[in-house]
Amino acid sequence: MHTLHRFAAAALTLAAGLAIGSGAAAEPQGAVVYRGATVIDVRTGKELHGYAILTRGERIVRVAPDGEIGAPGDARVIDVSGTWAIPGLVNTHEHLATPPNRPFAEAMMKRDVFGGVTAVRDMADDLRSVGELTRASLVGEIPGPDIFYAALMAGPSFFEDPRTHEVTAGLVAGQVPWMRAVDETTDLPRAIAEAHGSGATAIKIYANLPGPLVAAITAEAHRQGMKVWAHAAVFPASPREVIDAGVDAVSHVCMLAYQASPQMPERYASRPPVNAERFAGATPPAVSALYGEMVARGTVLDATLWVYDEMAREQAAQPYCSAALAERLAAEAWRAGVTVSAGTDGFSAPDDPWPAVQDELELLHQGAGLPLLATLQAATLNGAKAIGDERDLGALEAGKLADIAFLGRDPLADVGAYRTVTLTVKRGVGFPRSDYRPGPAPAR
């Protein structure tokens, strides 16, 4: 059984009504027919006009032409004519608890789900807090997406970083299951088993580890049934060593550019900016070769263009990579056939009515030049692959979770359509956009 599902299967009966608004427990499970939408097949881009979606409880039962789906006797019928139905969006890079702040996290989760986001990857935080947020969202106590989260592993020197102390308060950074210092003496089977016991879906390999140790962590995590999500460069492990280790997904497209460095930096904290001069003409062959290897291995690229755009707009000092180079590398990776997902590594301003994943989708299309279908796939099919749950997520198909976003405009004609969500359905529970009340902007 998937890690997320171990929490409280019986409690899922709380999360199957039509709408929970501010987060009250939902109605009992039942059938719902959503009639009249244009359903988008995200695998092919085909637009299925006048279709209906039949759900029961938390699952999709059938997607077919409206006239072919009758309403079971206990079914609610919801008219969604004039909308476009897509799978719930997936943000493959959030940090909900660095540092832990429950009001802030709940506000971001609420905005996510009312903005069409039904699943997120939390990329290593205080898992004591994240585990509780995961449970509360899963059983319908608070409105929010499903959370799939990572336990972090890094070299001992990384734990000088003050963030690691924020997320282990009361204990010792580097000596807890979700924030573990690793070297050649570490008992990896035990360390990974302890991380798995925290409820984590994956190990996140962060920084200050050599290539052979990255490979050893990856092999043991996979042996124990965990995914491995890594920075695209782990310092001193190069991007090629990270990809060759067999990790499932890498984050931060600009870190791939370090493969062109004459020598890899030894530490994450002391890495110099990417040498942009090496990319003034054609992309260095060492970087281009990474794309082919990622395609061959099925490695997902969590590009995080949003964070590079944010650095360009907010930092006075030179960021380690420009937004323009990030977009160029993401474009090259996609054209080479790399699976690109939509992750942000940050949140839009608390008073922004829409989550940052909408910005990421616009950057992927308008900045990196991904076609509109590829942009949609980045936040659906590819997000499911990054999480490692393609069985349940990523497409509107019978048997998958009833995670649906209904849009007021066609996302295959207008990337701005993601800002026209009218209704989100997560595990069969409806979140009408008209019910969204952001409340006071919380401080982090």
Quick one: 52 and 174 in the same domain?
no
| 396 located within any domain | no
Q: How confident is residue 319, by pLDDT bands cut at 50, 70 and 90?
A: confident
- Higher-pLDDT residue of 112 and 74 is 112
CA 178 – CA 156 distance, rounded (Å): 14
What is the bridge-based pairing of β-strands 179-181 and 227-231? unpaired
* Same domain (yes/no): 22, 128: no
Q: Are residues 101 and 63 in the same domain?
A: no
Q: Are residues 158 and 35 in the same domain?
A: no
Residue 405 lies in a domain: no
Provide the pLDDT for residue 29: 64
pLDDT digits (tens, 9 = 90+) for 271-284: 999 999 999 999 99
CA distance 335 to 55: 36
What was the pLDDT predicted at 14? 26
Q: What is the C-alpha to C-alpha distance for residues 259 and 379, in angstroms, rounded to an integer?
A: 27
Q: Which among 15, 21, 23, 145 has a CA at the least distance from the CA of 91? A: 145
**What pLDDT does residue 21 have?**
45
pLDDT above 70 for 263: yes
Q: What is the pLDDT of residues 82-114, one digit of tens each?
A: 999 999 999 999 999 999 999 999 999 999 999
In a domain? residue 155: yes
Residues 191 and 295 in one domain: yes
With CA atoms as reference, report the closest residue to 424 among 4, 101, 19: 19
65-92: buried (b, 16+ CB within 10 Å) or exposed (e) per residue? Answer: ebeebeeeeebbebebeebbbbbbbbbb
Number of residues that this document lists for the chain:
444
Helix (H, G, I), strand (E, B) or coil at 339: strand
In a domain, 394, yes or no: no
Residue 308 lies in a domain: yes
State pLDDT tens for residues 217-258. Answer: 999 999 999 999 999 999 999 999 999 999 999 999 999 999
Residue 45 lies in a domain: yes
Query: 80 with 97, same domain?
Result: no
- Residues 138, 48, single domain; the answer is no
The rounded distance, in Å, linking the Cα atoms of 197 and 191 is 10
Q: Give 72's pLDDT tier (boundaries 50, 70, 90).
A: confident
Q: What would the mean pLDDT of 419-443 be, rounded to a whole number?
A: 93
- Domain check: are 304 and 344 in the same one? yes
Residue 4: is its pLDDT beyond 50? no
Domain CATH code at residue 176? 3.20.20.140
Domain that holds residue 219: 90-386
pLDDT surpassing 60 at residue 27: no
Output the six-digit token pair for 312.
Answer: 């360009």
Shared-domain flag, residues 272 and 222: yes
pLDDT in tens, 181-196: 999 999 999 999 999 9
| 288 and 344, same domain (yes or no) | yes
Is residue 289 predicted with pLDDT exceeding 80? yes
**Among 274, 150, 267, 132, CA closest to 204:** 150
Q: What's the total number of domains in the chain?
A: 2
Asked if residue 147 and residue 23 are part of one domain, the reply reads no
pLDDT at res. 439: 78
CATH code (residue 67): 2.30.40.10
Task: Answer for the pair 423, 403: CB distance below 8 angstroms, yes or no.
Answer: no
Q: What is the pLDDT of residue 193?
A: 98
What percent of the chain stands above pLDDT 90?
Answer: 88
pLDDT tens digits, 342-356: 999 999 999 999 999
391 lies in some domain: no
Does the structure show a pLDDT above 70 at 143? yes
Rounded to whole angstroms, the Cα distance separating 55 from 215 reads 42
Residues 363 and 418 in one domain: no
